[in-house]
Structure 1
Amino acid sequence: MELSNFFKYERSLHPGKAIFYYKTTECDFVPLEAEVTRIRGQKAGFAEGFTNDFLPKNLAPQDLAHCNPLAIEECYVPPNVEHLYCRFSLRAQANSISPAACNSPEAIALLTSITEQFNRKGGYKELATRYCKNLLLGTWLWRNQNSGNTTILVKTSLGNSYEIANTRSLAWESQWPKEDLLTLNQLSDELCVALTDPSVYWHADITAKISTTFCQEIYPSQVFNLKENKVDVTKVFSKVKCVDGRQAVSFNSVKIGAALQLIDDWWGDDSKRLRVHEYGADKELNIARRGPDSSLNFYSIIVNAEKYLTELNENNAVNPDVYYLIAVLIKGGMFQKKAN
């Protein structure tokens, strides 16, 4: 298949912002707010004392003892609050079934055939199970997972509720208890239908109840300030303004989506899951696991779509490359070549 000059897929998973809040005897929703703290930052970085050639800079003894006054935002659980909540919504649509825009009818027909056959082989069920694992494990809580017992409750638009009593007793690669495995299977069944049936409108409401310690620090999303912008506060959290004017700290939707997309272990090392990405970006090591010089990247796989369709038609097993291919289409994006 040849990549066209007009080719895109709409994303299939639409998470909202995740809001942090707590409860009191008088109110079931009290937004968790950030506070501005002014600190004396230390001059402790490599560049403060050395050149790029690792030569000591010509400094006076007191130069590195001076402090840099900084204003940053911090966020802590209020005293006497034992449980913190984080809640977001998720919509799913069957947008990966066929391209949202493509000027090649042949490519549309080919890719639609692949997704149809992939669905018949149970491929979408496997992907839905992986997304739901991240939902139920609380992967989307990021650094806040390192806390006390965490309960995850998922309520769906079908009127069903699914609960994991304690995420700390589970892991991605572990054998889940029978009850939790049933929860995973039932929730993934719902999501699978939503990802494959365009007539279905499906959404879920996800809440994490986190057991906290006294005045525990919380880590919401950070807002990046451009260097040219002169700002007083150098570290700022993402927030949502509530109806009473207070601002609750939050995760932005992109950070939630990134956690749900942590399913790519088809790149060659199943001990490490990557966020679904056209070139297999590994943020920890700052390298591409599916670089353009390999056959593992998305573009090298999709141009061989005819071969993968033949495999799907002839074999019972699904090639790991096809799981990855459909996962990228679920993520969505612009995939065309640059127009001449």
Structure 2
Amino acid sequence: MATKTADADLKTASVLAFERKLDPSDALFSAGRWDERDDPARWAPVPVREKSVRGTISNRLKAKDQDPAKLDAQIDKPNLQTVDVAALPADADTLKVAFTLRVLQGAGSPSACNNAAYQAKLRQTVEGYVKAHGFIELARRYAHNLANGRWLWRNRTGAEEVEVRVQHLVQGAPATTWRFDALKLSLRHFDAPGEMTETLDEVAQLIARGLSGESHVLLGVSAFVRVGAGQEVFPSQELILDRDSTKKSKTLYTVADVAGMHSQKLGNALRTIDTWHPEAATLGPIAVEPYGSVTTLGKACRQPKEKQDFYNLLDGWLLKDRVPAPEQQHFVMATLIRGGVFGDGE
């Protein structure tokens, strides 16, 4: 009876934060030739350089500006732009993208929580999930997204060949290396071809061990993308809040003058495992977000009014003992692995 009273009085902590448990580094770009993938000495960093271009007027015009004379006057004005570009050298046909990934234990354990009773109930709930499901389903999906090269984003599109290598690093040296033909793995689902199932399972088991704290897991991940000699490649683009500080129309991300990709962009790709949202049949997997946000579409796939968002599911599970369906439990745990600030503070 005391437990029921305690549960009835239980409220969400006003301070509740979780650290991310999949922690990628930034990715660095280098260039070389496809047949020299096993010779590290042959790969050179990809620089970012400026290019000045003369663009044309192509934006949608207001009605008052659609007069032929006004339009001709606009077209006659040069649209001069300075942009950053990154491209392979003329003698290199392959892009290499490499980063490291730490898999940390303590999924579901808050880094900050100011309500001891809530934290105890959260620990009990997470332990029940791990006992019932373990981390293997989530780990299998994370492994699939490593192997299929989703994290390459636009660099994967139109590539002739993509080879992904995942290494288990122990004391700085690769203990095991797995190789994948990324283009044979789908971006729409998580079913692997038969010949890759066993290899993917090995990577998934390793990630699951890292999440459960059974072992220290550091992965070295690299991809070789055969796109063609001299072709443009696509690092992350910087968000410039102060436009007056730069005259460039596009600024690309660099690490020590080497083209790179933000760790946040890599993390977004790795957690694109949510096929449990209401619009999965149409959209396929989306990144794990509390409201199922898809910024490219300008919509939230997990609306609070449908009780499918993270907060409704978590509160129902912890405060009202409404255990979600197994697939929604996976979503809640994946959101805790993602990390964030989820308190009920003002």
Residues 311, 299 of structure 1: CA spacing in aligned structure 2 closer, same or farther, 3 A cutoff? Answer: closer
CA distance in 1, matches of 2:267, 2:71: 48
**Superposed CA RMSD:** 2.2
Task: Measure, in 1, the Cα distance between the counterparts of 2:306 and 2:231.
Answer: 45
- Of stretches 90-99 and 30-39 in structure 1, the one that deviates more from structure 2 is 90-99
Q: Which runs of 5+ in 1 are unaligned?
A: 242-246, 313-317
Counterpart of 2:304 in 1: which secondary structure?
coil
C-alpha distance in structure 2 between counterparts of 1:115 and 1:20, whole Å = 38
Q: Structure 2 vs 1, CA of residues 174 and 319 (structure 1 numbering), >3 Å: closer, same or farther?
A: closer
Q: What does residue 107 of structure 1 align with?
A: 118
Deviations 1:160-210 (A, max 9, x none): 21111x21122143752333111110101010011111x632110001011
| Cα 1:286/1:123, change in 2 over 3 Å | farther
Give the C-alpha shift of residue 148 in structure 1.
1.5
Q: Does 1:194 align with 2:210?
A: yes
Q: Which amino acid aligns with 1:221?
A: S
Cα distance 1:80–1:295, how it changes in 2: closer, same or farther (>3 A)?
A: same
Aligned residues: 322
1:178 partnered with 2:194: yes
Q: Which amino acid aligns with 1:163?
A: R
Question: 1:219 is matched with which residue?
Answer: 234
| Residue 4 (structure 1) aligns with | 13
Stretches of structure 2 that go unaligned for 5 or more consecutive residues are: 1-9, 34-38
TM-score by length of 1: 0.88
TM-score (normalised: structure 2): 0.87
Cα separation, 2, equivalents of 1:23 and 1:57:
49
1:224 to partner: Cα distance: 1.4
Instruction: Name the residue aligned to 1:20.
Output: 29
Q: Which amino acid aligns with 1:134?
A: N
Q: How many angstroms apart in 2 are the aligned matches of 1:311 and 1:337?
A: 21
> After the TM superposition, which residues 252-263 of structure 1 pair with which residues of structure 2 at under 5 Å, given as runs?
252-263=262-273
Greater helix share, 1 or 2? 2
What is the rounded CA distance, in whole Å, between the counterparts of 1:308 and 1:168 in structure 2? Answer: 45
Answer whether contact 1:114 1:309 (CA < 8 A) is retained.
Answer: no
Which residue identity lines up with residue 333 of structure 1 in the other structure? G
After TM superposition, list the pairs within 5 Å mapping 1:29-40 onto structure 2. Answer: 29-40=43-54
**1:277 aligned to which of 277, 289, 302:** 289
Distance in structure 2 (CA, Å) of the matches to 1:228 and 1:140: 28
Aligned-pair CA distance for 1:329: 0.3
Q: CA deviation at 1:121?
A: 2.1
- In structure 1, how many angstroms separate the alpha carbons of the residues matched to 2:190 and 2:114? 45
Distance 1:183 1:235, change over 3 A: same
Post-superposition offset of 1:230: 3.2
Verify the 8 A CA contact 2:108 2:333 in the aligned structure 1: no
Kindly report which structure 2 residues correspond to 1:238-253, keeping only aligned pairs within 5 A, or say none.
Answer: 238-241=253-256, 247-253=257-263
Most deviating of 113-122 and 180-189: 113-122
Match of 1:244 in 2: none
1:192-246 Cα offsets, whole Å, 9 max, x none, are 011111x6321100010111212111111001112543313221111111xxxxx
Equivalent residue, structure 1, for 2:5: none
